[in-house]
Structure 1
Amino acid sequence: MFQGSHSITMDAKGRIAIPAKQRECFMALSNGQLVMTAHTENRCILIYPENEWEQIRPQIEALPTFNKHALRVQRLLLGNATSLELDSNGRVLVPPTLRTYARLDKNLMLVGLGKKLELWSEEAWFKSVVNAELDDDAPPPELLTLSL
């Protein structure tokens, strides 16, 4: 579904224009309805077609609330989830709370990750992803089986 990275800009009102290919996916999958929420590990925003979000949400709601890690995930994902709709020009308003959370300014990166998109500040994208040093954590076994 969603792939590729796009350098985009946010206007003074906090709106972004979704590139044509991604816009077509949103229209086909959810009639232009989407959900934005906070990423739990990185200072970026997750963007799901609404129907994809509705499949994930029950799993998040079912997490044990007496576990501090699970509760943090619920608070970030559910507490920041905002249902939105693409306007006739393919634009969407990024909620102010999410703009603050992800430290978004004018220059952004929109990155396709299959069933969802990530929205990053351009500066954070290059610092945290493109130019990041990998830590000493071992890669997951599934990654070791991948051949490109």
Structure 2
Amino acid sequence: MINLIGTYECKIDAKGRLLLPSALKKQLLPMLEKGFVLKRSVFQECLELYPMSEWEVLMKRVNKLNRFKKKNNDFIRRFTAGVKMIEVDGNGRLLVPKDLYAFAGLQKELVLSSAINIVEIWDKSKYESAIEDATDDFAELAEEVMGDLDEQSELS
């Protein structure tokens, strides 16, 4: 499993190209050859960059859904809307397609935020707002999400 670390600021040009920060590029180096998948986030107004190996794991789960159930078909259609295969060019740049660029409302200043095994691509002002909004209830959220984990059972 991939464990990416860090939050990085960078710029995107008018053509939708962003230069990966060197510290992030170094972490992604083993994955550059297989490429990436770029998609809309389900919950936020940002993009998600999946290393191909992580995308394949996720697609195995999605492929188990029964397609004779309307909800499953609707989910698959919406989940994969706008999905694009992406490669990093020789200069360490990614090209963000215009439809995804528009979805995330990207301006010149971006934040690339690692989210364990993927990278979220945010417009800087939207990222700062999302972090600010989450600050108030983060302690409660952390307890709800992580509070039931028993560290001793995890170590065994």
TM-score normalised by structure 1 residue count: 0.83
For residues 57 and 22 of structure 1, the distance between their equivalents in structure 2, rounded to whole angstroms, comes to 24
Q: Taking structure 1 as reference, are residues 90 and 32 closer, same or farther at Cα in structure 2, changes over 3 Å only?
A: farther
Q: How many residues align?
A: 145
Match of 2:43 in 1: 41
Match of 1:144 in 2: 147
Q: Any conservation in 2 of the 1:26–1:33 contact (CA below 8 Å)?
A: no
Match of 1:103 in 2: 105
Aligned-pair CA distance for 1:80: 2.0
Q: Any conservation in 1 of the 2:32–2:88 contact (CA below 8 Å)?
A: no
For residues 86 and 96 of structure 2, the distance between their equivalents in structure 1, rounded to whole angstroms, comes to 9
What's the RMSD between the two structures over aligned residues?
Answer: 2.5
For residues 71 and 104 of structure 1, the distance between their equivalents in structure 2, rounded to whole angstroms, comes to 29
For residues 35 and 57 of structure 2, the distance between their equivalents in structure 1, rounded to whole angstroms, comes to 14
* Stretches of structure 1 lacking an aligned partner (at least 5 in a row): none
Aligned-pair CA distance for 1:64: 4.5
Aligned-pair CA distance for 1:113: 1.5
Which amino acid in 2 is paired with 1:144? G
TM-score normalised by structure 2 residue count: 0.79
1:80 partner SS = coil
Match of 2:154 in 1: none
**Deviation string for 1:42-97 (max 9, x for gaps)?**
111110111111111121233345354x5554234322221111001100101111
2:41 equivalent to 1:63 = no
Aligned residues: percent identity?
Answer: 24
Alignment of 1:45-124 (within 5 A): 45-65=47-67, 66=69, 68=71, 70-71=72-73, 73-124=75-126
